[in-house]
Amino acid sequence: MAQAALKPIARNAPDETVDWKRITYLMHLSRALDEMEETRLVPEKKVLYQFSARGHDMAQIMLGSHLTDRHDVTCGYYRSRPLLLSLGVDPLDALGSAMGRAGGYSDGRDIGVVFNYPNLDGASALPMCGGVGAQYTPTAGWAQAVKYYADVLGKAEYRESIAVVLGGDGSVASNGFWSALTIATTQTLPMLFYIEDNGYGISVPSTIQTPGGNIAANLSGWKNLTIFEGDGTDPAAAARLTGDAVEHVRRSRGPVLLRLTVPRLQGHSFQDTQAYKNEETVRSEWARDPLPRLKGYIVPAVLSEAEWNAADEDARQAAETARIAAEARPTAVPETVTRHVFFDGEVQVMGGQIRHGYRAPETVATVQADGQRINMVTAIRRTLDHELSINERVVLFGEDIGPKGGVHAVTLGLQEKFGSERVFDTSLSEEGIVGRAVGMALAGLMPVPEIQFRKYAEPATEQINDCGTIRWRTNNRFAAPMVLRMPGGYFKCGDPWHSQTNEVAFVHQPGWKVAVPSNAADAVGLLRTSLRGNDPVIFFEHRAMLDHAWARRPYPGDDYSLPFGKASLTRRGDRITLVTWGAMVHRCEEAADGISADVIDLRTLMPWDREAVLSSVRRTRRCLIVHEDLGTAGFGAEISAVVADEAFMDLDAPVSRLTMPDIPSPHNPVLLDWAVPSVGKIRAKIDALLEF
């Protein structure tokens, strides 16, 4: 840790380089919006969620005034509206979004305090999240992308760009904070951690969030981190500290933590009465209100009393004008709320390589095989190798994927060939792996993070969910396309930690496409489509098929791709339809030997090929769904429901499923063989349905 030297400043001489007039106006505007919501719009039930920024506002506005680079970004949280106003957000959008009206941040899809601000001509605000601490690792990802653009791709316009993340004292206890701190300091990233310490996480004192209640003091020995701290209600100190912190990140290209103490002058939210604070605490907080302190500092030294009052009046009028216009905005047309879950041809305003001029090469749907059969590991590696070689925006990362080449050897040799800036190991934090990928994707890279095993994705659940919903909840203002590689399933033996599939959980995360290839050729086609696409993709690599003899195929060519939502009919017949995917495809084919059966390999679960299944079932009049995941609420239940709903009158037997029982994957091979659908069990189920 480097202790930053503070510049001396005369207390009675406001810094002439600071635009005090603009800060005064924005401060009054922020207060006017807060007051309007608290006294009118919330009681009138026109605003349903309200978080006052009183006490936090002055320093935030000062911080925003320093974000002047076109590629600067910030990512805040629910109390960050003053910062947004300082970046240029229209108060009409701020109020209209708070009212859930059409337009604004989300077209009424998200809470109004969950901001986003795509600004192609200046500093942007990345899509905020409703979860505390979820803002940190995506911001670190943007900072790493900035470094990549400047140092690896040689783009001069990124050489002074920075990423700024805002958080309260409660957020410093979150996984996201510590993961981002590790990323920023081990990678030496141009990132500012701006911590507003108001002493409380709702009602929980900051002393419970971090020992002694001072995260800056506790990080005093943290290597590669420069720390600033001070009083965020003192105009001179706040102006100096925000300016020095931003300047330090710009010049040193390394991380800084700025902790400012501020009062939270209202409750956590409108509904919070602050009954947990005694009267003396409340009085002491109001005594530190930065608004009168700002007035006392710059009036009359910079502004006259009349100019101060005029700024107040102008801000109130602007807030009232914004309210009238916001209330005139309609509610979005309900039928449009299903748009923009996935890319539908209308390109997002920010995020993804397509926004940076990327145009995918032409692809073919026909196999151009070289004759030699290769396993799925080699097929995936060869595809990644090719896409890395033709697209400088592709970056691979995860635990052990560098010199080791991944625990499944999929990335073996890629770091040696493409360098540690493009293929690199990460700290052991799935939150950090996926979160940083979000920030990189928002910056226009095509990140390919790896989760070592399906079960290990659980710590990243929040980032996975947030990533998938970005396009929808910002109404196509932002998107974060990526390919999240994830091995899973049984392999020789099983266990509850490395052998789960549970792919249905990702199908239930809106915005994610899900690929589950069963063989090497399909893995190539689906992976290439994913890497050149404009949506986030879960790419599931079944461990049992990575080197399975049945899954080996000739490499289908560097131009081969497969569409999502298009199943493969691997065997054709007319007596029964078997619907399956992943490791169960070859077992279904063996079980159907000698029987006239359709075997449908779905290949992708989101979207899935409903028409192929329904068309087959209407012809064969029987349907068996086989998958490795648990039976209860597994994806087979969705297929079964669709078949029953849309092809019931065509059936000669009930729709049937064969799955794992509702247990984790057992370790002993004998127990595992009993639990996973076997060829024998599948054949028995087929026979029973044919005899029905």
Contact assessment for residue 398 and residue 543, using Cβ atoms and an 8 Å cutoff: no
Phi, psi of 293, rounded to the nearest 5 degrees: -70, -35
Contact assessment for residue 270 and residue 38, using Cβ atoms and an 8 Å cutoff: yes
> What is the widest separation between alpha-carbon atoms in the chain?
94
CA atoms within 13 A on the CB side of 185: 19
Active site residues: 498
Q: Across-strand partners of 200?
A: 205
In three-state secondary structure terms, 475 is coil
Burial class (CB in 10 A: 0-12, 13-18, 19+), 493: middle
Distance CA 346, CA 639 (A): 30
Distance CA 216, CA 261 (A): 11
Please, what's the b/e burial string for 272-293 (b: 16 or more CB within 10 A of its CB; e: otherwise)?
A: bebeebeeeeeeebeebbbbeb
Q: Across-strand partners of 166?
A: 194
What ranges in 164-304 are assigned the alpha helix state H? 175-187, 206-209, 215-218, 235-252, 279-286, 290-298
Provide the edge-to-edge strand list for the sheet that holds 163-168: 2-3, 226-231, 256-261, 191-197, 163-168, 73-75, 124-125
Give the pairing of strands 597-601 and 568-571. Answer: antiparallel
- Residue 14 CB contacts under 8 Å (≥ 6 apart), including other chains: 20, 235, 236, 239, 297, 298, 301, 302
Burial class (CB in 10 A: 0-12, 13-18, 19+), 75: buried
Contact assessment for residue 627 and residue 599, using Cβ atoms and an 8 Å cutoff: no
Q: What are the structure tokens assigned to 316, written together? A: 């109130």
Provide the edge-to-edge strand list for the sheet that holds 513-515: 423-425, 394-398, 446-450, 483-488, 537-542, 513-515, 604-606
Please name the residue that has the structure tokens 């024998």.
680
State the Cα torsion 542-543-546-549 to the nearest 10°.
-100
Distance CA 67, CA 123 (A): 6
Closest CA to 242 of 58, 81, 403: 58
State the Cα torsion 148-150-151-156 to the nearest 10°.
160
Contact assessment for residue 137 and residue 75, using Cβ atoms and an 8 Å cutoff: no
Q: What is the Cα 98 distance to its own chain's centre?
A: 22
What ranges in 210-345 are assigned the alpha helix state H? 215-218, 235-252, 279-286, 290-298, 305-328
> What secondary structure does DSSP assign to 401-457, as a single string?
-STT--TTSTTTTHHHHH-TTTEEE--S-HHHHHHHHHHHHHTT-EEEEE-SSGGGG
CA atoms within 13 A on the CB side of 453: 15
Please name the residue that has the structure tokens 């349903």.
48
